[in-house]
Amino acid sequence: MAPFEAFARAAWIRSRSVKNMPTSQLNPSTEFAVRARFNQLLDDEARLRLALASAKEHGGVQRSLARAAGIGNSIVGKLLRLRGLVATRDGRLVPLPGSGPDNPVPQLTDGRPWCCEQADALDWLRRLPDRCVSLVFFSPPYEKQRDYGTDKARAGVEWVEWLRPIVVDSARVSRGLVVVNAACPVRNWSYSPALEWLVADLTRLDGLVCGPSPYAWVKSGCDSVTGNGIPGSGGKRYQRRDWEALYTFCLPDRLPLRWADNTAFGEPPRKEGGQSSHQMRNGKRRRQAYTDPEVCNPGNVIRSPVGPHLGNPVAHENEAPMPLAVAERFVRWFVPPSGCVADPFLGSGTTIEAALRHGRTGIGCDVRSGQVEVAQQRLGMVNN
């Protein structure tokens, strides 16, 4: 059982509304219910002021907040940290070190919608203030693939240790998610699990959490939903690689996300089948009324063509360009209108073009001056 789920389970058992509920009836969604209840208290100024005023009477700020929200006391400290807050002994809630209000993007203070710079990814990120962009989205050099003219084709642990601080600093800069698209090779009949090592180290050692479950980018054909993948990638023994993963990370206090449009790129529901029903524990099926949504959730499988279908002819000036359609998804899903997205591995500027086409702003950097020039040329062609 995950630590947070254990906390949530205990908190619900102690709360007034479900204190008699059998433990077996609780489920993982309990975490979100507890968090929603607590957030409602923090967002209600009158209730929060009353709870803080009665802190001494109830034995401290956390006990008073737990009583006001109707949840267990043991989980309050964790819920406060998720909101970037900590309770003081004198009965106040103050920001945690490293958290605080959003900051403007320094490169865009003159009103420009985009900015590209030549810089090392980590150096560039460390110059940015906390919480200054809505999303960080990038595709770094893949493990032991291309060196992009830098003579630094890293592999294994070296690749993980190089990328870890970049993702961690990206999480500091982002108000929400960091999305990383990467893949590892199969060499000498053996797959390199460096990407899985990266995910494990970021979540176990660096204190980041994963947001949504990983996305799958299926490299589909132009007129087909089936993957056409990377020709020859399966060799003579294995299957062709048809998809790549996109993992999401963030700091714990960024969840739940402030803004998301999870039905963007969704389609109207298909009118087929009979009346809605679900199977009960005893095996019987129960019919129930169901109202179709106007737009269905598009899911976490992204089908996008590769090859000549990248969305912009300038994209082919990059060694490994990403289709515009992939970047557009995450911009629309997780960047609010007029929000900003950052890309520390700019390449030909795909991420920023996606932002501009949908009324957002974007900043990015690349260690190669030639790629910065290509991106500037490409973005100059976009009518924002």
Helices (H), 209-334: 324-334
Least confident of 125-134, 233-242, 255-264: 233-242
50-76 pLDDT tens trace = 888 888 777 788 888 888 887 777 677
Strand ranges (E), 221-282: 243-250, 277-279
Judged against a pLDDT cut of 60, whether residue 45 lies above it is answered with yes
CB atoms within 10 A of CB 189: 8
Mean pLDDT over the full length of the chain: 79
Please give the single-letter amino acid code of residue 337.
P
SS3 per residue for 179-238? EEEECCCEECCEECCHHHHHHHHHHHCCCCEECCCCEEEEEECCCCCCECCCCCCCCCCC
pLDDT at 66 (0 to 100): 82
**What domains can you pick out in the chain, each with its CATH number?**
3-95 (no CATH), 106-252+295-380 (3.40.50.150)
Look up residue 24 and give its DSSP letter: G
Nearest CA-CA partner of 138 in 355, 378, 312 = 355
Bridge partners for 301 per DSSP: 216
Q: The pTM is what?
A: 0.69
Share of the chain above pLDDT 70, in %: 75
DSSP letters of 121-162? HHHHHHTSPTT-EEEEEE-PPPTTS--TTSS----HHHHHHH
Q: In which element (H, E) is residue 116 found? A: strand 114-118
Judged against a pLDDT cut of 70, whether residue 169 lies above it is answered with yes
308-343 pLDDT tens trace = 545 555 544 555 578 899 999 999 999 999 899 999
